[in-house]
Amino acid sequence: MLQVNYIKENKQEVIERLAIKNFTDTDIIEKIILLDNNRKEIQKKLDDNLSESKSIAKEIGILFKTGKTGEANQLKQKTGDLKKLSKELSEQLDKTSKDLKYLLLEVPNIPHPAVPKGKTEEDNKIVFEEGELPKLDEVALPHWELAKKYDIINFELGSKVTGAGFPFYKGKGARLQRALINFFLYEALKEGYLEYQPPLLINEASGYGTGQLPDKDDQMYHIGIDNFYLIPTAEVPITNIYRDTIIKEGDFPIKNVAYSSCFRREAGSYGKDVRGLNRLHQFDKVEIVQIQHPEKSYQTLEEMKEYVSSLIRKLELPFRISILCGGDLSFTSALTYDFEVYSAAQKKWLEVSSVSNFESFQANRMKLRFKDKNGKTRLAHTLNGSALALPRIVAALLENNQSDNGIKIPKVLVDYTGFELIS
C-alpha cells in the first residue's frame, strides 16, 4: 500500500511510473487525493465537536459533585445536538476512510526506475547469463519420463490420493528433496540467516499484511471452518512476524530463512507447459526474507541476488537472471530479479527464484516501522527471495544430468543425499 502523502506530493511521478506497470487508472489517483482531503476536513469538524462535548460532560460532573443538580440538568439538554452531530460526522469519517483505504489497496507498488516497460515475460530484461547449455542426445527424456523410468516421483499416485499437482516423491526422489532442503538451509545459515519453521496455515490478517488478500484469495487454499489459509509461500508467515511492530534501527538487517511446503491453487493455465514438476499445487521451497533500512534495501537486494546465484552455481546448473518488466512485475514489488535454470530436455528456461524489493509497500500495509536516529518512526523495507524452490531445480537436475548410467547428483549435494547416482 502506498502512502497517501507520497501520492499527493509526487502525483505526476506516481502516475508516470505506475504506467510502466501498465496501471493507467489516473482517476483513482485523483479520487484518493480528493477523499483524503475530505477525510481531513471531516476529522477537524469531528474533533472540534468532540472537544466541546467533552468539556461539557466534565462540567456536569463537577456540578453533580457540588450538588448543583438543577444546573447540571440544564446543561444536559445542550448536549443533544452535539451528540447527534458527532454521530453523523463519525459515520462520514468512517465511510470516507474506508473508501480511501479500499482505493489505496487497488494501487500497485511503484516500480523502480530500472524496471523496463513491457507487457509480458518477453519484455523482461536479461541482465546475466552463466553456464553452458548442455547438449543432450535426441533420445534425452523430459523429467516426467525420467521420474517414471527410475520410479522416483509418482504423479498418478498423487492424483489418486489427492489430485493433479500433488505428486509423491519416492525412494531416491524423496531423499533428493530432503537433501536439497537441507543444502539450502545450511547455505543460508552460513550467510547469517536465522532459521524459522513457520505455521503452514495463516489467518486473514496475515494474508492482508503481505498482500495476498484481498485480491488473490482465489489462489490460496482456504479452510472455511476456521477461516485459515494454506500458505502460498513462507514469505507470508515470516514477514508477518513483524506485523504491527516498531523495531530498533540497530536491529537491521533482519535476515530470516524458512523451509516450508507451499500451496497454490493457481486455477487455470493447464497444458503442456505445466507437465510434470513445472507447476504444482503443493511444492517445497526455502525462502529468505530480510527487513532492512530504507537506505540500504537496494544494496541488500544485490546481495540476495548474488547469494541465489551462488546456490545455482554450486548445483552446476546453467542459469540466467532477468529484471521483470512492468507487466510481469507483481502487484507488491518495486524491483524483481527472476532466476531461470535451463532445462535441457524440455529445451526451455524454468523460473526457480524471484528476488524482490517491496520497499515500504508491504511495511505500510502491515505497519512495520522502526525508530531512526532522530527518534522518528518510519516504515522499514522488506525483501524476499526463493533460495530456492525445489520442483524446477529437480526437473533441471534430472534432465541435465541424465546419461546412460543414470542421473548424476551434483558434488555439493552428495553429502546430503548419501548417493551419487540415481539408476
Residues that bind RNA (CB under 7 A): 36, 39-40, 43-44, 46-48, 50-51, 53-58, 60-61, 64-65, 76, 79, 83, 94, 246, 369, 371, 374, 376-377
Please, what's the b/e burial string for 381-391 (b: 16 or more CB within 10 A of its CB; e: otherwise)? bbbbbbbbbbb
- CA dist 404 → 143, 145, 316 (Å): 15, 14, 19
Cβ atoms < 10 Å from Cβ of 122: 9
Distance of CA 130 to the CA centre of its chain: 27
User: Bridge partners of 378?
Assistant: 370
**31 grid coordinates:** 479520487
CB of 150 to RNA, least distance (A): 31
CB of 62 to RNA, least distance (A): 7
Nearest CB to RNA, comparing residues 15 and 75: 75
Instruction: Give the C-alpha separation, 93 to 307, whole Å.
Output: 48
Nearest CB to RNA, comparing residues 44 and 117: 44
Cβ atoms < 10 Å from Cβ of 405: 9
CB of 236 to RNA, least distance (A): 17
Instruction: Give the C-alpha separation, 286 to 129, whole Å.
Output: 23
Cβ(407)–Cβ(422) under 8 Å? yes
CB of 17 to RNA, least distance (A): 23
25 Cβ partners below 8 Å, 6+ apart?
A: 106
CB of 364 to RNA, least distance (A): 10
SS3 277: coil
Residue whose entry in the numeric block shows the C-alpha cell 499484511: 209
Instruction: Give the C-alpha separation, 84 to 104, whole Å.
Output: 30
Nearest CB to RNA, comparing residues 269 and 374: 374
CB of 384 to RNA, least distance (A): 24
CB of 258 to RNA, least distance (A): 20
Nearest CB to RNA, comparing residues 167 and 237: 237
Nearest CB to RNA, comparing residues 95 and 320: 95
Nearest CB to RNA, comparing residues 57 and 127: 57
User: Bridge partners of 336?
Assistant: 356
Instruction: Give the C-alpha separation, 246 to 243, whole Å.
Output: 9
CB of 346 to RNA, least distance (A): 40
SS3 245: strand
Nearest CB to RNA, comparing residues 39 and 285: 39
Nearest CB to RNA, comparing residues 216 and 378: 378
